Amino acid sequence: MTIAVSATTPGTRLIDPQLLRDLLAGDGEIAVLDVREEGQFGEGHLFHAINAPYSRLELDVPALAPRRSARVVLLDDGDGVAARAAHRLAAIGYGDVSVLAGGVPAWVAAGYEVYKSTNSRFKAFAEVVEHAFHTPAIDAQDLARLKAEGADLVVLDSRTPEEFARFHVPGAISCPGADLVLNFDRFVTSPEQRVVISCAGRTRGIIGAQSLIDAGVPNRVQVLKGGTQGWRLAGLELASGADARAPAEPAPQAQARAEAVRVRYGVPLVETPTLAAWLGAERDHRTTFLFDLRDTPARAARPVPGAIAAPGGQLVQALDRWVGVQRARIVLFDDDGVRARLTAHWLIQIGEDVHVHDGVPALPQPVPGEGQAPALEQVSPIEAAALLTEGGRALSLDASAAFRTEHAAGALWTIRPRLSALPQEVTSAPVIVLFAQDPAVAALAAVDLREVSKARIVSVAGGVSAWREAGLPVEASPSVPPDTARIDYLFWAHDRHDGNPQAMHTYLGWEEQLPAQIAAEIAGGGFRLVR
């Protein structure tokens, strides 16, 4: 076990893979942040790593790891990006930042596992749940046959309403995961009715079906094997369109079922004074994430400053989207406690320290929120066009997929981690004009650009959309940037929802093998199933 100081990046603390593994197995909070872009991250990452792309670093890390005295370890491809990220985080107040020497390649060379895709830890959890509890399943052909025969059944789709609108099993009802118990008696009309839970693959369906089983509903509950992908692989057509049903008031039995689940799984309650202390006087010693699981109208009517808005079902599937600190404290609340209790009973089995607050808390101060980008001069599209005619160079910082579809004529695509590789004709230009739909991304890129160029740096207000609306020329480039440069895009199984059978088989097979893969992780991934 060693700690070294980099000779090439003065002041950067380096740790080796063994020490990082020991830290993950130890006590106390730690944020393991992978600063590679999403495409790189999804090709292979540590089990407990959280993606915090360098292109958005100072925007995302203050939300993922709000306590700036917490231990932070940064990962990259061994290419120096993590050292740059450590410097940026130190500049905004993070005082305990280390870098994994050699990055993810060194972790692999030490014999440790890496994982494809995103949200892998939570997908693995769902697969472990299925193995442990033998969650009942039905395949697509059997479900289609039962539907054709007029069987008494209901299909509930546990994904978000937006995902449901894009595609779903014909006749399915949109009922996001945390709402399954809440709305069960609204959609299921008799105890004899068969209930099938669908998602786009395997894991949210498994968690949704097992949630109903854990809540003790009297019906036969099954998960659709492979979800919408399994449906398509069986040669069946999907439907599309939104579900216009309005939210319902919870039935009394929903609250009773949820409370029984809370008691059985040992989910603690927290009162407002204690929560206020966690978020106030104790916030410099322990990280607390507060989640608001209410619907958007309810949040708007009675907002809780600093609370993170998140659907409960998505928390179980994608907690790493919001929580970047291992062993932090999590508090959930909603209107009636049903969503919070059902969500908490899963998070506690994932291994999280989770509490439920009954009702909407009245708190004296906000929780620390997202980061802010530095100021950057903005110009109108017309002003930008004039600067370009005077020798300026245009760079696009939009997603590579968006750039291929449309960008300002003559603009080059780039991304913050690759700015140091820009050609000299760009860095030596008198003005560099940045295009980005998110102006904060442009502002962060400008920080790095100033280290490689003395140019005046400006961004175009409104990005390429405003440029086009001003009547200025745009162009498409279907093969530029080349795939090899698109580090922001995950190619692995990327077209599984577009009907590619090979990609669907690859993805579903990957999910199924996760329990075997995580066997080498510390304590089997840290899951604590209640049997």
Residue 444, domain CATH? 3.40.250.10
Which residue, 85, 117, 149, sits at the end of a domain? 117
Q: Residue 491 has what pLDDT?
A: 97
3-state SS, residue 60: helix
Residue 394 forms part of a structural domain: yes
CB 311 within 8 A of CB 160: yes
For residue 209, being part of any structural domain is answered with yes
- Among the three residues 70, 89, 117, which one is the final residue of a domain in this structure? 117
Structural domain contains residue 513: no
> Are 47 and 82 within one domain?
yes
Residue 363 in domain: no
Q: Are residues 110 and 143 in the same domain?
A: no
Position 8 scores a pLDDT of 43
**Rounded to the nearest 5°, which phi and psi values hold at 276?**
-60, -35
Q: Identify whether residues 49 and 108 lie together within a single domain.
A: yes
d(CA 262, CA 342): 7
pLDDT along the chain (531 residues), means of 10: 42 94 96 99 99 98 97 98 98 98 99 98 98 98 98 97 97 96 95 98 98 98 98 98 77 94 98 96 96 94 93 92 98 96 98 98 72 93 99 99 99 98 98 98 98 98 98 98 98 95 97 96 92 86
Q: Are residues 352 and 426 in the same domain?
A: no
Residue 531, domain member (yes or no): no
Burial call 468-506: b when 16+ CB within 10 Å, e when fewer: beeebeeeeeeeebeeeebbbbbeebeebbeebeebbee
490 lies in a domain? Answer: no
How far is CA 237 from its chain centroid?
29
Last residue of a domain, one of 94, 117, 140: 117
pLDDT of 4 reads: 40
139 and 209 both lie in a single domain: yes
Statement to judge: residues 128 and 244 lie in one domain = yes
518 within some domain: no
Count of structural domains, the chain: 4
- Do 102 and 207 fall within a single domain? no
297: cis peptide before it, omega within 30°? no
My answer on whether 329 and 347 are in the same domain is: yes
Question: Within this chain, do residues 113 and 128 fall inside the same structural domain, yes or no?
Answer: no
CB-based contacts of 405-410 (< 8 A; 24+ apart in sequence): 405/476, 406/464, 406/468, 406/474, 406/475, 406/476, 407/435, 407/464, 407/474, 407/475, 407/476, 407/477, 408/435, 408/460, 408/464, 408/467, 408/472, 408/473, 408/474, 408/475, 409/472, 409/473, 409/474, 409/475
Instruction: Residue 327: give the domain boundaries.
Output: 257-356
Asked whether residue 146 falls in the same domain as residue 231, the answer is yes
Rounded Cα distance, 524 and 131, in Å: 14
Q: Does any domain span residue 202?
A: yes
Whether residue 391 is found in the same domain as residue 464: yes
Residues 428 and 467 in one domain: yes
Contact present, 274 and 362 (Cβ < 8 Å): no
Cα three-residue angle 12-74-366, rounded to 5 degrees: 110
